[in-house]
Amino acid sequence: MRFVIIGGDAAGMSAASRAGRLRRDMEIIVFEQTHDVSYSACGMPYNIGDPEASMESLVVRRAEDFREKQGIDLRTGHRVDMIDRGKHIISGEKENGEPFECGYDKLLIATGASSIVPEVPGITNDGVYFLKDLRDGRMIRNYLETGSVKKAVILGMGYIALEMADALRKRGVHVTMVKPRKRLLPWLNEELSHVIVDELEKNGVELYPGHSVDTIEKTGSGLTVVCDDRSFECQLVIPAVGVKPNSGIAAAAGLDLDDFGAISVDRRGRTNDPDIYAAGDCADAFSVVTGKKVWVPLALHANRSGRVAAENICGMDTTLKGIACSAVFKVFELEVARAGINPAEARAAGFDPLEVVIASRSRAHGHPGNKTIHVAMTGDKKTGRLLGVQMAGAEGVAHRIHSFAVALHNSMSAEDFWQADLAYAPPFGPVWDPLLTAAGQLLRKSE
């Protein structure tokens, strides 16, 4: 049996590795358009911020390792353009322009996501860099190392935009962030978003929300980002306004997409074609909170869904339980994390949300180095069930979110979660963990 995989990043290579171990008799061919497979894409902003780092340190496994050690037929520099479902053939073009085609018995689409390109004149100018794959990362690093970048403008204020603001400040670059909407991270509770704004301003980031970019002009000394009522001179522009699923070839082949434009898959990772699976950032997932489809392109689910698709292709029967939409990022000295849904999302999903916002501490009473942890927790008034949480603080946020994610996987109520026996020691938290305190307040508010 021949198992063909389109895309050699997190989902694709997880699938290839898993299938290779499960079925030594299976022919596994991976087509990847770049020459980078298996690298830490999420590590790029942090790497860029560190003058001592090398971009190549993000490579987890090289293409040769997959070929030689795991016996996977990994064809880099191959761009797949079309799936012929009737003939069970994919076809595309090599980087030298030569066409190629390849038959399959089972196919996995793992084409990932790509940066949304804002429709702004000048967006293709030199000095405008998107950050999506390792090639982008190398280009930005090299550009910074010329020493000519004094000022940068970041378009957008999402995770990657914030991480890049941090990275560029670490390089001594002046940073301005511009976005059309007034609210930074609109999914975030307003009190918590103020905490992030304060952290950005404290670190010298200039924020300019509520303004669209009209054009990016090339000037003698660099670029000018022109907004409605102000212009920003700079040498570097990073558009980071979001990503979109690479589902074009799937759609052209008549595979079902969802409302997010991602490839629609069932809990086994299968599309509406029984011989075609999809995994990773190009495909959707089920929310463990709402039971409905969501599209949240993040690394862990990409790896896991690739692996699960491979298991099902190899004859096992593995189902994906769904995602809790957990995420965390670091911006300067602040850890920001979320899991589940916020009150607006809860209302849209038919819940009757109740939210509490508290400020707790990262260490025990009297322990030196204590920091504030902000928590916004949402539950359902009717059932008492926990729906989501958001946290921000200088320490103790990143891993605390895990316990709440596990609670969401188990549809726990605030009452049951309040009883969770979380470990306590003075350097690591108050006796009542911030999440337990928030759950307790949710309980009292609903009494």
**Count of residues that interact with its own copies, criterion CB under 8 A:** 70
Q: Which is nearer to its own copies, 235 or 326 (CB)?
A: 326
| b (16+ CB within 10 A) / e for 1-17 | eebbbbbbbbbbbbbbb
Sign of CA dihedral 299, 349, 412, 361: positive
Task: Kindly tell me which residue out of 32, 258, 281, 433 binds its own copies, with binding defined by CB under 8 A.
Answer: 433
Token pair for residue 203? 């670190």
What is d(CA 217, CA 214) in angstroms, rounded to the nearest whole number? Answer: 10
Q: Which is nearer to its own copies, 257 or 288 (CB)?
A: 288
In angstroms, give the least distance from the CB of 154 to its own copies. 18
- Residue 284 is classified by DSSP as -
Task: Kindly tell me which residue out of 50, 81, 93, 191 binds its own copies, with binding defined by CB under 8 A.
Answer: 50
Q: Which stretch binds its own copies (CB under 8 A): 177-185, 229-237, 249-257, 296-304?
A: 296-304
Burial of 357 (0-12, 13-18, 19+ CB in 10 A): middle
Q: Which stretch binds its own copies (CB under 8 A): 73-81, 103-111, 137-145, 292-300?
A: 292-300
In angstroms, give the least distance from the CB of 7 to its own copies. 17
Task: Kindly tell me which residue out of 110, 167, 175, 405 binds its own copies, with binding defined by CB under 8 A.
Answer: 405
What is d(CA 51, CA 433) in angstroms, rounded to the nearest whole number? Answer: 37
Token pair for residue 214? 């009209």
Tell whether residue 298 is a contact of its own copies (CB under 8 A): yes
Tell whether residue 24 is a contact of its own copies (CB under 8 A): no
Task: Kindly tell me which residue out of 143, 208, 260, 432 binds its own copies, with binding defined by CB under 8 A.
Answer: 432
Q: Quick check: helix, strand or coil at residue 294?
A: strand
| b (16+ CB within 10 A) / e for 376-397 | bbbbbeeebbbbbbbbbbbbbb
Q: Which is nearer to its own copies, 87 or 321 (CB)?
A: 321
Token pair for residue 129? 């860099």
Alpha carbon 316 to its chain's center: 28
The CA radius of gyration of the chain, in Å to the nearest whole number, is 23
Between β-strands 174-179 and 243-245, what pairing exists: parallel, antiparallel or unpaired? unpaired
Tell whether residue 428 is a contact of its own copies (CB under 8 A): yes
* The residue to which tokens 């999420």 are assigned: 42
Q: Hey, how many other C-beta atoms are within 10 angstroms of the C-beta on 418?
A: 19
Is there a contact between 364 and 373 (Cβ–Cβ < 8 Å)? no
What is d(CA 419, CA 444) in angstroms, rounded to the nearest whole number? Answer: 14
Tell whether residue 322 is a contact of its own copies (CB under 8 A): yes
In angstroms, give the least distance from the CB of 26 to its own copies. 18
Task: Kindly tell me which residue out of 304, 311, 414, 438 binds its own copies, with binding defined by CB under 8 A.
Answer: 304
In angstroms, give the least distance from the CB of 343 to its own copies. 20
Phi (first) and psi of residue 53, to 5 degrees: -75, 160
Tell whether residue 328 is a contact of its own copies (CB under 8 A): yes
* Active-site annotation holder among 42, 234, 282, 325: 42
Q: Which 162-221 positions form the footprint of its own copies (CB under 8 A)?
A: none
Tell whether residue 402 is a contact of its own copies (CB under 8 A): yes
What is d(CA 188, CA 395) in angstroms, rounded to the nearest whole number? Answer: 18
Binding mask 354-373 for its own copies (x = CB under 8 A): ----------xxxxx-----
In angstroms, give the least distance from the CB of 307 to its own copies. 9
Tell whether residue 326 is a contact of its own copies (CB under 8 A): yes
Is 325 a catalytic site residue?
no
Between β-strands 151-155 and 174-179, what pairing exists: parallel, antiparallel or unpaired? parallel
Q: Using CB under 8 A as the criterion, which residues of the chain lie in contact with its own copies when the complex forms?
A: 10, 40, 42-43, 46-47, 50, 52-53, 57-60, 288, 298-301, 303-304, 320-330, 335, 337-339, 364-368, 396, 398-403, 405-407, 409-410, 412, 416-417, 419-429, 431-433, 435
Catalytic center residues? 42
